[in-house]
Amino acid sequence: MRFSIAVLPGDGIGKEIMEAGVSVLKAAEEIVSGFELDFAHFDAGAEHHKRTGTALPEATFEACRSSDAIYLGAIGLPDVREFPGGPEVSGQVMFKLRFDLDLFAGVRPIKLYKGIDSPLRDMENIDFVVLRENIEGLFASYGGGTLVSDEVATDTMVITRKGTEKIVDMGFQLALKRGGRLLDQKRVVTCTDKSNVFRSMAFFNKVFHDVADRYEGQVERDHVLIDAMTLLMVQQPQNYDIIVTENQFGDIISDLAAALVGGMGMAPSGDIGHNHAMFQPAHGSAPTIAGKGIANPLATILSGSMMLDWLSDQHSCPEAKKAGELIEQAVARTVKRGVKTVDIGGTSTTAEVAENIIAQMKAHAQLL
């Protein structure tokens, strides 16, 4: 089976981490027979905007739409904005892809690998997923909002039944695929919101329960207010399996969750819809370390592994799933051996980490 992958390296460390990510995927394709990946690279992002006046050329968007999956590095530079004092141009790429391709689910696995120190004392295992609604909530206001007389500004939270049902249902489906929360292996989807205050959030919560009813007896449901969640996620991360939430809350708590497992360099993600999907590290372009060859490529490489898993499910291609598992196992072995970039306590370069992962994949291919 042949898959076309649109590669958007983007800005800052984007090029370095994507080079690492693509090299690992190419190795996986060589080691595991039964599928092929056709990579096509495209320029998009803040640098591209500076050069051409556009962040995402229409032809690039069309190539993304027609590819089997999108693999993205990082988009945005803090000083490249739509107008002075306005938002960054990065939204023209990220939100166009998410909104127009209906990538409604931000899937953010949070997993602690052996060899990575969590800032949480004595914490050996962490393994849960933050599921962020990706195209509604407060981000539905992107490109809108009001500013009146330089005195008052507003943005509006948008919650729809259809959008909420889609993300919550994906949460329950994901729970069925996983082995449950670490605490007691129970499959649980936890809704986190601010339903004690806002009408929109109370509605999100109501729709959550409507969907949860369909999974009665298969997956349990739980509810935690978002402010309490920032506390409980840190105190008892093993209580969680899938945490489903509104867009802006998901944006914030997924970074907090990433901090528990080694930081942004350890945070992969998938922006997933029913027909399209994009895979990217959850971090940004880290401009202060760009070009130094020290960026952590693991979030990008693990996002590549997620991409193979999604392609496998989407196209009934078990070989792609195998290749994704091979990559994840090689990542685990590599960090356990101490081959790590400086952000997670090592001294290796971006390229050395990728080379080591490929060596581990070759050495353990027979175990598949």
Ligand X SMILES: NC(=O)c1ccc[n+]([C@@H]2O[C@H](COP(=O)([O-])OP(=O)(O)OC[C@H]3O[C@@H](n4cnc5c(N)ncnc54)[C@H](O)[C@@H]3O)[C@@H](O)[C@H]2O)c1
Residue 135: what are its φ and ψ, rounded to 5°? -130, 0
- DSSP for 165-188, please give it: HHHHHHHHHHHHHS---TTT---E
Angle between helices 247-260 and 226-235 (to 10 degrees): 10
Q: Does 86 contact ligand X by CB under 6 A?
A: no
Q: Are 131 and 251 in contact (CB under 8 A)?
A: no
Counting beta carbons within 10 angstroms of the beta carbon of residue 119, is it exposed (0 to 12), middle (13 to 18) or buried (19 or more)? exposed
Binding mask 255-284 for ligand X (x = CB under 6 A): ---------xx--------------x--xx
Which pair of structure tokens corresponds to residue 325? 């598992």
Four-residue CA torsion sign, 95, 97, 101, 105 = negative
Q: Does 250 contact ligand X by CB under 6 A?
A: no
Binding mask 301-340 for ligand X (x = CB under 6 A): ----------------------------------------
Distance of alpha carbon 206 from the chain centroid:
26
Residue 40: what are its φ and ψ, rounded to 5°? -125, 120
DSSP 321: H
Q: Does 75 contact ligand X by CB under 6 A?
A: yes
Scored b (16 or more CB within 10 A) or e, 226-252 reads beebbeebeeebebbbbbbbbbbbbbe
Q: Which of residues 17 and 257 has its CB atom nearest to ligand X in the complex?
A: 17
DSSP 288: G
Q: Are 316 and 283 in contact (CB under 8 A)?
A: no
Applying CB under 6 A, the span of 32-40, 70-78, 158-166, 207-215 interacting with ligand X comes to 70-78
The residue from 56, 77, 140, 357 that contacts ligand X (CB under 6 A) is 77
Q: Which of residues 134 and 195 has its CB atom nearest to ligand X in the complex?
A: 134
* Distance in angstroms (rounded) separating the CA atoms of residues 319 and 216: 33
The residue from 19, 68, 328, 343 that contacts ligand X (CB under 6 A) is 343
Q: What is the closest distance, in whole angstroms, from the C-beta atom of residue 150 to ligand X in the complex?
A: 24
Q: What is the closest distance, in whole angstroms, from the C-beta atom of residue 181 to ligand X in the complex?
A: 27
Torsion (CA) 211, 161, 107, 4 in degrees, nearest 10: 110
Q: Which of residues 126 and 294 has its CB atom nearest to ligand X in the complex?
A: 294
Q: Does 285 contact ligand X by CB under 6 A?
A: yes
The residue from 286, 302, 323, 358 that contacts ligand X (CB under 6 A) is 286
Q: Which of residues 76 and 163 has its CB atom nearest to ligand X in the complex?
A: 76
Q: Does 289 contact ligand X by CB under 6 A?
A: yes
Q: Does 134 contact ligand X by CB under 6 A?
A: no
Q: Which of residues 60 and 296 has its CB atom nearest to ligand X in the complex?
A: 296
Q: Does 116 contact ligand X by CB under 6 A?
A: no
Q: Does 288 contact ligand X by CB under 6 A?
A: yes
Binding site for ligand X (CB under 6 A): 13, 17, 74-78, 88, 90, 94, 264-265, 280, 283-289, 295-296, 299, 343
